[in-house]
Amino acid sequence: MKAAGESIESILAAAVEIPTEAGRRAYVDRACAGDTGLKCRVESLIDYHFRAGSFLESPAPDLAAATDLPVVAERTGTVIGPYRLLEQIGEGGFGVVFLAEQTQPVRREVALKVLKPGMDTKQVVARFEAERQALALMAHPHIAKVFDGGVTPAGRPYFVMELVRGVPITEFCDQNQLSPRQRLELFVAVCQAVQHAHQKGVIHRDLKPSNVLVSRDDTTPKVKVIDFGVAKALGQVLTDKTLFTGFAQMVGTPLYMSPEQAGQSGLDVDTRSDIYSLGVLLYELLTGTTPFDKDRLKTAGHDEIRRIIREEEPVKPSTRLSTLGQAVETVSANRGSDPRKLSALCRHELDWIAMKALDKDRNRRYETVGALALDVQRYLNDEPVLARPPSPWYRLRKFTRRNKRALASAALLAGMLLTLFGGLGWVMSDRAERRARTAFEVNQFLDRAESLYAEDKLPEALAEVHKALVVLGTAGGDDDLDRRARTWLTDLETATKLEEMLMEFLRPSVRDRLFPGSAEPTARPGAGAGFARVFRDYGIDVERLSTDEAAARIANSHIKLDLVLALDRWAESLRTNARGLDPAHWQRLQAISRAADPDPWRLRYNAASEAKDVNSLRELADAADPGRLRTRVLAALGDSLRAAGDVEASVAFLRKVQRLYPADYSVNTSLAWSLRNLNPPQWAEAIAFRRIAVAVRPQSSSANWYLGWSLHYQQANPDEAMAYYRTTIALDPEHAPAHFCLANALRARGKPEEALAHFRRAADLLPNDPNPLNSLAWELTTSSEPKLRDPARAVTLAKKAVELSLKQGDDRDQPGRGRLGTYWNTLGVAQYRAGNPEEATDALQKSLDIASGLDRAYVCEDWLFLAMANWKLDRTDEARKCYDRGVEWLVKKASKDEKLNRFRKEAAALLGVEEKE
């Protein structure tokens, strides 16, 4: 692990100052002190840093790409990075597993799992990086190692794991007729593996025989627990769909599911859920069946399954054996016993252990998996178990059984009783000591989270809070500690939402994506509702509370800065976009912000930013102390300089800040925006800084979106851009611009059906934006796949696009008229395809009138479709003139556009024109 106090930013900042590569490597090795995950991340960021400084643009590793879109499945022979798929060896509810051959940097066989389409990959991507680091820390002989992870060329995430050639633990035990003692010894090994994972902050949440494999190493059984971390990264809240329609794919998972997992009560699932699943596994190893009958759950509805798991008490293992009928003979034989002996063996201690692990109340289960393993080991050692409240006589019976010869006299017996009663006092003292140790560890994690938050390191701070919650869930703690941890969890989750919204606040509209000449991103009209919802969910309903009450709650919050910055942007959104809105609305938000944080510097900055006072903003930038101000405030100051028109000053200021904070998300994002707005734009360097932003925040939909768009439209690299668009959609399925631009890229790559699906989604998400409506109409009219065309629907969409464009005033300025001309063109083509030549000529003529003097491709389309529409109306002379004008445009431009030349051939065939070679 890295030294105390060291952070990824401090290591990076020191490393980039070292002039030689060898010196940097030596320093990073020392600073990371064996932390492989940290070292890899630092080395990646160093690489990105020097790319940005030297304007290099080689693609960065895709740290978080994922997709939930249907694509062609991988098959034998497919090559994914250094892995060649040899054969499919398994399939689960969320992935397909292949035997694969790794060729670099070592040659070996591995298991490669490719995730299926349709799963909730939003969670996967959001947590993948944190889970990968946790997995990298785990080194246990009974845990299958995770070697690698990445994204296929189609954008589907995959994991590469150690190849385990084993069978499920229950199957192995039965095949080899292992005795109960041998089974319990294997079970202890499983518990040790799970406990190791819990200590690393990883909860399995899907423990079952098929995830516990056993093979023989020479003559010794070898246990391997698989799918660690994957279950946590991919786990979903149990819904009707996953319980009912997905039951078959879960391979009996409800049989091993804890009551809190099945309950949908909002109760957090912690390490004690794994203890319950292990209790089911122990039950099955002893009795050959699960606590609840498999066939019964298969036929039950989802609500009944939940009720059974949550409400019905399973019978003890010894009792269950007596209900198996003739099957008990086979169960006993597989354990080298007979029914009577096996039932007697399970009675008492093994019953107690299993039932304690299976308690409905998780607070009454074992505190840790380690405690469960110790109790099983006590049974194997013929020591008293802790599964029931032990009486002195019970302890004495266990002791005398182990020491019959030594206990020959009553005096020694009395001495032992005194020792036992003295031991009770020791147990109480030990429990108090453990509670104190737990409190110390939890407070350390939370103090570290607070410090990281102050450094604007939200993901790292959240990780510390999650560690604290794991400790509390494993070892228990008092209510005050739990309350403090959960308060910080809510605070940091809210701060993360607000950070993403502040980035989205600057996101240009879809129109700006198609017409990238627009210089400055503008506040989004719908942003106000989003801010209101986040504040309301946090417990501060600023629209209902008085100004003083709202300000007081914000001032007393850990995340005051995030809340105040969000209020400022919310007010700006209303002021600049809400036409006709009473100014009192946004002025009240500003009043709450000022009352919550009356810092003079911030008030001066807000006034200068609102007035776009360049001179005052420059003075603030010159006098800014980066050591005192938060990086998000510094980034906002750079944004304001850019918005006020001084892009050069913005770039100079943000470069200075970026050198101090080379791995800061906000600073790198703002610097990329300003570089984009220079004249001429510095696209290469801007993209390099966007890559850093994605490396620092792989779970940010905005970071992935901006990088994808820049690669697509400024570097003509749609293939790499598509991976980032897919990641954005996986993180935020309602990200309309990502759907829109992915559709454009897919169309260009000859995938019309998938492109149409994303055009539809963008139009559904933005029903009042003419651009996605127009694009969907165009695709429905002119798709290269005739089966995908729907001219009637296209006419409806195109009419609405024209209406919206006129309503928003596009006919009043040159850029707007260019867009409006495009919409009239689409409407004209759609009308022609729908069999309405008269209406087509009207719309196409309007498009031409607007396009007078403009050098747009749709001018050629106007002429060609006017030719065909006039021909249909028996205006042959006019049709021929229009055709000649369209061909003239094509010749002049020497256009190789496939669609335009297809339209030309269609028009020539209709008019009977003999085309010249």
The torsion defined by the Cα of 520, 524, 525 and 526, in degrees rounded to 10, comes to 180
Rounded distance, CA 138 to CA 203, Å? 12
Average confidence (pLDDT) over 100-115: 85
Q: What is the pLDDT of residue 583?
A: 81
| Cα→Cα distances 548→400, 491, 541, 551, Å | 72, 21, 12, 5
Q: What is the pLDDT of residue 397?
A: 56
Average confidence (pLDDT) over 180-206: 88
Q: Which pLDDT tens digit goes with each residue over 792-841?
A: 999 999 999 999 999 988 888 777 788 899 999 999 999 999 999 999 99
- Bridge partners (DSSP) of residue 823 are none
Q: Do residues 653 and 641 touch, judged by C-beta distance below 8 A? A: yes
Q: What is the pLDDT of residue 413?
A: 55
Residue 33, sorted as left (phi over 0), alpha (psi -120 to 50) or beta, turns out to be left
**Mean pLDDT for the chain?**
79
Q: Which pLDDT tens digit goes with each residue over 683-735?
A: 999 999 999 988 888 888 888 988 999 999 888 888 899 999 999 998 889 88
pLDDT at 673 over 80: yes
Q: Which residues of 199-232 are buried (b: 16+ CB within 10 A; e: fewer)?
A: bbbbbbbbbbbbbbbbeeeeeebbbbbbbbbbbb
Transcribe 619-677 into DSSP letters. HHHHH--TTTS-HHHHHHHHHHHHHTT-HHHHHHHHHHHHHHSTT-HHHHHHHHHHHHH
Q: Beta strands 79-80 and 146-151: pairing type?
A: unpaired
> Between 406 and 850, where is the model more confident?
850
Q: Which pLDDT tens digit goes with each residue over 786-802?
A: 899 999 999 999 999 99
AA identity, residue 876: T
- CB neighbours of 197 closer than 8 A, spacing ≥ 6? 138, 140, 143, 203, 204, 225, 228, 229
Rounded distance, CA 233 to CA 126, Å? 8
- Burial status of residue 83 (CB atoms within 10 A of its CB: 0-12, 13-18, 19 or more): buried
Could you tell me which of 222, 337, 224 has the C-alpha nearest to residue 287? 337
Q: Among residues of the chain, what percentage have pLDDT more than 90? A: 33
Residue 680, preceding peptide bond in cis (omega within 30° of 0)? yes
Q: What is the DSSP letter of 363?
A: G
* Side-chain-facing half-sphere of 600: CA atoms under 13 Å: 0
Number of neighbouring beta carbons within 10 Å of residue 917: 2
Helix 770-782, helix 791-807: angle, nearest 10:
160
pTM score: 0.53
Q: What is the pLDDT of residue 477?
A: 62
- How big is the CA angle at 488 (ends 484 and 494), to the nearest 5 degrees? 150
Domains and CATH numbers, the chain: 79-162 (3.30.200.20), 180-217+238-388 (1.10.510.10)
pLDDT at 149 over 80: no
Q: What is the pLDDT of residue 333?
A: 93
pLDDT at 73 over 70: no
Q: What is the pLDDT of residue 150?
A: 75
Q: What is the pLDDT of residue 815?
A: 75
- Name the pLDDT band for 206 (thresholds 50, 70, 90): confident
Q: What is the pLDDT of residue 351?
A: 93
